[in-house]
């Protein structure tokens, strides 16, 4: 948990009770949580935590690379903690558990093909895979 404290301090942001509550909720989660779920759970740690504060905190944490947005069906999304470096996520279709994996340069061929086909210059990507975790497969 000290990584996020170091990152916030280095970037000139305070360690508020609200930010601490959001980070602790995410640290305890096994699956991606919506902002509403983070707010509900966070209020047990910091009763005055508000939903707007949760959204602002998640935006800040995402900008700093501390959390990752995970997309679900129907346009919904949740958040999970992110590790340093280029990372992607695999999401279990059964239980909703999310697990990070290290990103790699092996997307270069795909990106080259997309650029050639569309004329776009690709500056970044978001990769999320879905499947069944070992527990749900059993």
120-132 pLDDT, tens digit per residue, is 998 877 778 889 9
pLDDT of residue 96: 81
pLDDT at 113 over 70: yes
**CA-closest candidate to residue 78, choices 28, 35, 40, 131:** 35
User: Residue 37 in contact with residue 18, Cβ under 8 Å?
Assistant: no
pLDDT digits (tens, 9 = 90+) for 95-112: 888 887 777 667 788 888
For residues 17-38, average pLDDT? 94
pLDDT at 1 over 60: no
User: Residue 61 in contact with residue 4, Cβ under 8 Å?
Assistant: yes
Across the chain, mean pLDDT equals 87
Residue 123, both tokens: 């500056």
pLDDT digits (tens, 9 = 90+) for 45-83: 999 999 999 999 999 999 998 998 888 766 678 898 887
pLDDT of residue 25: 96
Residues contacting 80, CB < 8 A, separation 6+: 26, 29, 31, 32, 33, 67, 68, 70, 89, 98, 100
C-alpha to C-alpha distance for 20 and 15, rounded to whole angstroms? 7
What DSSP state is assigned to residue 33? B
Domains defined for the chain, CATH in brackets:
2-137 (1.10.10.10)
User: Residue 41 in contact with residue 6, Cβ under 8 Å?
Assistant: no
When computed from its CA atoms, the radius of gyration of the chain, rounded to whole angstroms, is 17
For residues 41-47, average pLDDT? 96
pLDDT of residue 128: 81
């Amino acid at each position: 948990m000290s990584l996020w404290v170091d990152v916030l301090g280095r970037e000139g942001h305070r360690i508020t009770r609200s930010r601490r509550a959001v980070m602790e909720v995410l640290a305890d989660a096994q699956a991606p949580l919506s902002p509403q779920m983070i707010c509900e759970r966070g209020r047990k740690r910091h009763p005055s935590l508000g939903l707007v504060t949760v959204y602002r905190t998640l935006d800040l944490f995402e900008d700093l690379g501390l959390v990752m947005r995970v997309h679900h069906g129907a346009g919904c999304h949740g958040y999970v903690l992110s590790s340093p470096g280029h990372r992607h996520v695999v999401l279990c279709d059964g239980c909703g558990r999310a697990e990070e994996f290290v990103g790699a340069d092996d997307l270069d061929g795909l990106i080259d093909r997309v650029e050639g086909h569309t004329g776009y210059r690709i500056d970044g990507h978001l990769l999320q895979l879905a499947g069944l975790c070992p527990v749900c497969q059993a």
